[in-house]
Structure 1
């Protein structure tokens, strides 16, 4: 059995849908409000759990979440963990989460979603103590001690780069057979390039690429490849789909989200990038798929996601 461990923040999202984005110092009535669990890695794990239990292939993969949560007895913690559902054999393992004793409130995101444009503006608040490098090392050691080290794939959200860099370096030393992937998402976050240089698989966001002056996925990936050890690099580009670069061959492939002339109805873009990553991590564990098939599957599932609310029914 292989182990896929996702390391990143878990949030409780409050989503306000409004007719249009409000002007500063104005009053606006929301048309809908929704509270649901969020966070890049938890979202990806929810999609992965569905794929492993109902997807077109059933790779033998066990899912794990490493994140900071409130006190184990807090109501918010119970709500977050129960939100994943899925009682299948591929249920997510939460035993390596870090429960912050005495903290009752989870990390929170407040999301304003515009009905006019489909865009969303996110404000985060997190008062939980962040994971430290030494805490992560104990988690990694626990996998190694149980003989799981060689079959591990570690995926990092790419937040708090200094700590994440220490985590990756530790894995390279203690568990050299592990595969490591990382997200490079937030523009202007220092240290992400250094993280990407240490990973085997890298996911770049369009917003990060454009903040660096790149005008397409291909331009971004080929520029970043010069300083990376990765064998596979990907960059999403919204309605234009995503591109992938295979190394060391430098073969570039691209898959469009829609065919020219096609139109889709965008309902909910929150979690589209997380869905793409989940679908790609799933595809990378389907040994019979080509790189083209994996990219097409990930783009297709992310495109399907933006046309529905949340993740329910995303996987048949």
Structure 2
């Protein structure tokens, strides 16, 4: 498969209405840099993958081909991606056990730029673990054994943990004399892993009420990841979020369209399609984009243990370079790195589960670049614009045709949904063929994405 190719379904524009209009400034994100302050809630565990040639029989003794220890958990993996980019701050809310393993886990997270001060410290030793037995001969089938010695975070505990962050600017806000609606909230994005559905539902509902009370609801994005196997009742979370992430669906377009009636009118629906790519559906603007998977050039994308530590551009060009680079790879038909399997045939080394987390992290970061939070993807009622005899909610695509968005301060650095999808798909394609998340931001910067990565720094 070649590089990522984008397919677009245009929105349903009313008859007689031109494609572009004249948006008013109040309906567009404000100009200027926008840092991303994100909090993610979930569980964190250690994943031990044991690769064997044949699955061992009961009472047998077998030799492992490889043993790999990696940190798992969708929320922490998402933050691990976001934290690599400049001008971001990340907080994790998760239970962490005591003892040496828990301490080492906190050090590892902090080293990656993930703040663990809001994590729940458990007195019991140990951390949640997953033992994965991967059989090479039987089509890489996996047997998973889970062990969780510590309880998940409760609804009351969640708000007790995040309270210091939510009220961190209270003194300054009161001293300013300005109404809360005119002041910035303490956080931009709150993301939930979607496990323990009743608790997650209570947390989303509680946050929605608190943000509305402070008149900040339209300034903070609430997102949730659903669609993991074995989680019952996840459909109850879908109507409560602004952005909903799905995974592992064979027909993303049909699926996302079927979900459209169950979500708020301002929602964005995002689907990670694994090694097939990804898709995004905008409910307010009725736009759909689908991208095939991106396959990096092995010579270009080395697995390096580096992270992006500053906002200094290292390449000279911007989006045009990126487009030309993609065209070059499509023309060459560049494939993905391969390894030799047990029978001598070449097989691709991919990690779809890790790529889903990277896709969601990349999408969150890309959407935060002057798209979210903001209309029309926020609960705040957005006005309509007059177009002949028809009315339509203003779309972020309605940039006047005579405006150079890269020359005007109002539109400079402005991303569109198709660009967000392309960014997330490329980032996920690179993660799919890596052992860890580290170095993804630098890899994206090396191929010409510094105009977005360093925006606002």
Please give the alpha-carbon distance, in whole angstroms, between the structure 1 residues aligned to 2:336 and 2:246: 24
Name the count of aligned residue pairs. Answer: 295
Between 1 and 2, higher relative CO (CA 8 Å, sep ≥ 6) is seen in 2
- 2:196 corresponds to 1:175: no
Of 346, 349, 368, which residue of structure 2 is paired with 1:267? 349
Q: What RMSD in Å do the two structures reach over aligned CA positions?
A: 2.3
- Report 1:64-143 matches (<5 A): 64-71=91-98, 74-84=99-109, 86=111, 91-101=113-123, 103-115=124-136, 117=139, 120-143=142-165
1:49-108, CA deviations, whole angstroms, 9 ceiling, x for partnerless residues? 22x1xxxxx3x331000000112xx10112112223647xxx22111000012x111011
- 2:205 corresponds to 1:193: no
1:101-149, CA deviations, whole angstroms, 9 ceiling, x for partnerless residues? 2x11101111233445455443322120111110112234322211374
Q: 1:242 to 1:27 in 2, by over 3 A?
A: farther
Which residue is 1:212 aligned to?
none
Give, in angstroms, the shift of residue 16 of structure 1. 1.1
Structure 2: give runs of 5+ residues left out of the alignment. 1-34, 170-183, 295-329, 338-347, 371-413, 443-457
Which residue is 2:65 aligned to?
31
| Alignment check: 8 A CA contact 1:37 1:83 kept | no
Q: 1:127 to 1:8 in 2, by over 3 A?
A: same
| Alignment check: 8 A CA contact 2:83 2:89 kept | no
The secondary structure found in structure 2 opposite 1:143 is: helix
Give, in angstroms, the shift of residue 300 of structure 1. 0.9
Give, in angstroms, the shift of residue 308 of structure 1. 1.8
- State the TM-score, normalizing by the size of structure 1: 0.86
After TM superposition, the structure 1 stretch with the greater mean CA deviation from structure 2, 146-155 or 215-224, is 146-155
Please give the alpha-carbon distance, in whole angstroms, between the structure 2 residues aligned to 1:86 and 1:100: 21
Give, in angstroms, the shift of residue 199 of structure 1. 0.5
Structure 1: give runs of 5+ residues left out of the alignment. 53-57, 210-214
Which residue is 1:277 aligned to?
360
Q: If you compute each CA radius of gyration, which structure gives the higher value, 1 or 2?
A: 2
